[in-house]
Structure formats: C-alpha cells, structure tokens
Amino acid sequence: MLLKSSKVNEFRLWGLLLTMIGMLIMIVGLAGIVFNWGTFGRILAAIFLVLGMISIMGSMAVYFWAGMLSTSAVSLECPECGRMTKILGKTDRCMFCKTILTLDPSAATTKPEELEQS
C-alpha cells in the first residue's frame, strides 16, 4: 500500500515525470553546444531541445487533464483520517492516508448494515 496513490495524484505524478524528463533531455542536448562539437553538436542540440519541448508540452497536457478531472471529481470526507478528498470513478484512494474509498455499495468491503449493527 506504500506505492498506491489516488488517481488524481497519479496523473500529477506523470505530469511531473514528463517535465523532469523533458528538462533532462534538453540539458543532454545542450552538451553539443557547450563542448563545441561543431555542426553535429548544433544539430544534436536542436533535435534534443525539440524532443524536450515536446515532453514538457505533454506534461502540460497531463496537468491540464488532471485539473479538469479534479474539478468534476466527487469530494467526500475520508472515514479514516477525516480530511476532505476527491474520488474519480467508483473506487479510489484517499489522497492523504491511502485508504480505499468507494461510492458503490456492491464494491464496499464493509456494508452500511454491518456498521449500523455494531
């Protein structure tokens, strides 16, 4: 359960990874200019800068998508930690304590009737 996260946080993680990978690609491409590899270095730098820019644009799209999903997500209070969290789909995890949450009674492990009896 250590590596599990809510769906919104997973989208944000992929956006961050795409940003970091894009910046790394751009830095590697810059080596062609810094170490003065001539015409080959300039072409290499141009190719890597374009690839890095595409990766960063992809991360921007992922962040935008995560933001749009987050605005339509259902907010509820986590029964475990008591904080407000958002759910995408039928089941999701709490953004803070990683507890599995569901809005579908058939997917719940503890039924509401069992909670009322105890």
Name which of 19, 53, 46, 54 is nearest 30 in CA terms: 46
pLDDT score at 26:
95
Give the pLDDT band of residue 5 (cuts 50, 70, 90).
Answer: confident
pLDDT of 3 strictly over 80 = no
Strands 91-93 and 84-87: unpaired
- 2 secondary structure, DSSP code: T
Per the structure block, which two tokens stand in for 23?
Answer: 């910046």
pLDDT of 55 strictly over 80 = yes
Asked if 45 and 30 touch (Cβ cutoff 8 Å), the reply is yes
pTM above threshold 0.85:
no
